[in-house]
Structure 1
Amino acid sequence: MKILILGGTRFLGRFIAERALQNGHEVTLFNRGQSGPELFPEAEKLIGDRNGDLEALRGRSWDAVIDPSGYLPWSVAESAELLAEAAEHYTFISSASVYDHLEQPNIDENHSVGKLSTERIEELKKLEPQQAIAENYGELKYHCEQEVERVFQGRSLIIRPGLIVGPYDFTDRFSYWINRIAIGGEVLAPGRRDKRIQFIDVRDLAEWIIRMVESKANGIYNATGPETGLTMEEFLHKCKETIGNKVDLVWVEEKFLLGHEVDGWTDMPLWIPDSMNMPGFLTVNIQKAMDAGLNFRPLAETIRDTLDWEASRTVTERKAGLDPDKEKAVLNDWNEKGL
């Protein structure tokens, strides 16, 4: 197949491109040429900007388009419309963040989504792209889906991943725990031990996406993991077991953490306090995707490979995770109170 990837050099896009090439496809990457320009010398590379400069795409044709870089519906509409007659199939990588009313677990693809009024969309168009995305990420992703389905009616695939993890993940949400366990000692573990969490290895997701594109599948699919329920305690113990370091997990109650201004998700990645009443966010139903062939590598492999990649990183500033001094202070206070 001739596959056009809008992006293709950062994280999920990178692994989608890699898998497509491994499967023998003819790959074209369209991006600004600023991230990983040395990657995939065997692929065709077109330089442009999906937010306003699509000229390099005109007059060309592909069997399929994969769009892992669309966040603004007006931008996605422009690319979809330009490619409507140039491609047979369009895959859009959306997000499980499109869902609203997260009070119940086991959300499937028919669950309600967050939507924006026409007036709000017009307001967001006036903002810088990153600011608009930060203010209404999930809702914008849903409206992106709508644009793709409008233009590629009956020949579009919408993927709604949850948290994506593994090598080259620069969000630091998963790797915080890998790094922290690797350091050892007393590790602050948040809230309930049996709190459900979800994530998917980027390589499993990319491999499945390419197989879905090869079959020109249509419809909407949630895509996260693992296959069976995973708790925070099980995850942290698997990190300990895999890394093999001496670690003492200290489970600290939610009320105590919040009282010490420990923020869920940012300070303690993968943890959403019960008080936020969002059990649906990390318990998404993925049965439809598994029925379509989504499968998962062992968690230990993801942990090991992420740790190996982390050892090669030169970036020292972290985007997520509890500051070591703050962690120590909270643990000292917890231990002193004998809680």
Structure 2
Amino acid sequence: MKILILGGTRFLGRFLTESAIKRGHEVTLFNRGKENPGLFPDVGKLAGDRGSDLSALEEGEWDAVIDTCGFVPRVARESAKLLAGRAGQYIFISSASVYDELESPGISEEHPVSRLALPDAEEMTKGKTAPPNNEYYGELKFLCEQEVEQQFPGHSLIVRPGLIVEPYDFTGRFSYWVNRIANGGEVLAPGRKGKQIQFIDVRDLAEWVIHMAEQQNSGVFNAAGPGSALTMEAFLGECKRELKSDAEFAWVNEAFLLESEVGFCMELPLWIPDSEQMEGFLSLDIHKAQEAGLTFRPLSETIRDTREWELAQEPRELKAGLARDKEQGVLDKWRSREPDN
């Protein structure tokens, strides 16, 4: 197959490219050439900018296009419209953030989505290729989906991942837990032990997307993992076992964490308080994707590879996770609380 990847050298794009090459496909990358330009020296490369210069895409034909970096409807529309008629399939990497009414678990692809009027979206993203401060991220992603489907009716594949994790994820959301538990000692564990969580190894996602391209599958698919329900307690315990850590978990209830101004999602990744009524966001129904071939490597492998990758990196600013001094302060307060609190 001839596959065009919009992006292709960062995180998911990187692994999509690797997977496609490994499976013998002819890959072309379209990007600005600023992220990891030395990667994939033997792959065809087209230079351009999603927001201002698509001229490099005016010629050429591909069996499939994979769009990893469409965040506003105008940008998605322009690339899809330009490639319509010259590509057999358009695969758009969307997000589970499109969903609305997140109170109940088991959100399927038919679940209601958050909506934003297209004129409002066009106005707020004028001259931009990404939403301002990630505001209306999900609503804009859904509008991008619609633009793609309009240009490729019956030949578009919309992938809605949940949290995509290591390696090469510089947000540090998943690696916070891996690194923190590897360092041992008393670890603040948030909320309910039995709270369900979801995430997908970027390599599993990439391999499945390439498989879907080979099958020329279309439609909308949730993509999250693992294959069976996973709780926060089980995840942290697996980290401890795999990393041979002496970590001891101090489970702190959500009311206390919120009173202590501990942020969820980024400061304590994978934790969303029950009070937010978002149980569905980390418990997507993924049966449709599994029936279409989505599989998962062992959780222990993701944990181990994440730690190895993190140890090979230069020290960098913490983008996600609880600072150690704040963690210790919260734990000290938790231990000193009144017995009936």
TM over 0.5: same fold?
A: yes
- Deviation of 1:229 (Å): 0.4
Give me the whole-angstrom Cα distance separating, in 1, the residues matched to 2:277 and 2:79.
Answer: 37
SS in 1 for 2:186: strand
For normalisation by structure 1, the TM-score amounts to 0.98
RMSD value over aligned CA atoms? Answer: 1.1
- Deviation of 1:282 (Å): 0.3
Deviations 1:203-238 (A, max 9, x none): 011001000000100100000001110000000000
**Which amino acid in structure 2 is aligned with residue 63 of structure 1?**
D
Give me the whole-angstrom Cα distance separating, in 1, the residues matched to 2:302 and 2:334.
Answer: 32
| 2:6/2:66 contact within 8 Å kept | yes
**Which amino acid in structure 1 is aligned with residue 252 of structure 2?**
V
**Which amino acid in structure 2 is aligned with residue 89 of structure 1?**
Q
- Deviation of 1:86 (Å): 1.4
Give me the whole-angstrom Cα distance separating, in 2, the residues matched to 1:65 and 1:129.
Answer: 19
| 1:72/1:133 contact within 8 Å kept | no
**Which amino acid in structure 1 is aligned with residue 163 of structure 2?**
L
Give me the whole-angstrom Cα distance separating, in 2, the residues matched to 1:301 and 1:149.
Answer: 36
- Deviation of 1:159 (Å): 0.4
Which residue does the alignment assign to 1:132?
A: 132
Which residue does the alignment assign to 1:153?
A: 153
Give me the whole-angstrom Cα distance separating, in 2, the residues matched to 1:299 and 1:264.
Answer: 23
Which residue does the alignment assign to 1:195?
A: 195
Which residue does the alignment assign to 1:246?
A: 246
| 1:164/1:199 contact within 8 Å kept | yes
SS in 1 for 2:280: coil
For normalisation by structure 2, the TM-score amounts to 0.97
**Which amino acid in structure 2 is aligned with residue 139 of structure 1?**
E
| 1:189/1:252 contact within 8 Å kept | yes
Counterpart mapping for 1:23-172 below 5 A: 23-126=23-126, 128-132=128-132, 134-172=134-172
- Deviation of 1:294 (Å): 0.4
SS in 1 for 2:149: helix
Q: Does 1:304 align with 2:274?
A: no
Change (3 A) 1:85 1:127: closer
Which residue does the alignment assign to 1:10?
A: 10
| 1:184/1:245 contact within 8 Å kept | yes
SS in 2 for 1:309: helix
Give me the whole-angstrom Cα distance separating, in 1, the residues matched to 2:185 and 2:21.
Answer: 43
**Which amino acid in structure 2 is aligned with residue 210 of structure 1?**
I
Give me the whole-angstrom Cα distance separating, in 2, the residues matched to 1:332 and 1:161.
Answer: 37
Aligned residues: 339
**Which amino acid in structure 2 is aligned with residue 259 of structure 1?**
E
**Which amino acid in structure 2 is aligned with residue 48 of structure 1?**
G
| Identical columns (%) | 59
SS in 2 for 1:281: helix
SS in 2 for 1:301: helix
SS in 1 for 2:100: coil
Which residue does the alignment assign to 1:237?
A: 237
Counterpart mapping for 1:211-222 below 5 A: 211-222=211-222
Deviations 1:37-91 (A, max 9, x none): 1111121011100112001111211111011111111001000000002111110
| 1:191/1:251 contact within 8 Å kept | yes
Give me the whole-angstrom Cα distance separating, in 2, the residues matched to 1:36 and 1:118.
Answer: 34
- Deviation of 1:298 (Å): 0.3
Give me the whole-angstrom Cα distance separating, in 1, the residues matched to 2:127 and 2:185.
Answer: 45
Give the ranges of 4+ consecutive aligned residues of structure 1 lying more than 4 Å apart after TM superposition.
none
SS in 1 for 2:279: coil
Change (3 A) 1:315 1:79: farther
Give me the whole-angstrom Cα distance separating, in 2, the residues matched to 1:5 and 1:298.
Answer: 28
Which residue does the alignment assign to 1:314?
A: 314
**Which amino acid in structure 1 is aligned with residue 30 of structure 2?**
F
| 1:114/1:139 contact within 8 Å kept | yes
- Deviation of 1:170 (Å): 1.1
| 1:133/1:140 contact within 8 Å kept | no
Deviations 1:123-148 (A, max 9, x none): 21336444436111101100100011
Structure 1: 5+ residue runs without aligned partners? none
SS in 2 for 1:142: helix
Structure 2: 5+ residue runs without aligned partners? none
**Which amino acid in structure 1 is aligned with residue 267 of structure 2?**
D
Deviations 1:150-185 (A, max 9, x none): 000011111000000121011111000001001110
- Deviation of 1:122 (Å): 3.0
Give me the whole-angstrom Cα distance separating, in 2, the residues matched to 1:81 and 1:119.
Answer: 19
- Deviation of 1:336 (Å): 2.0
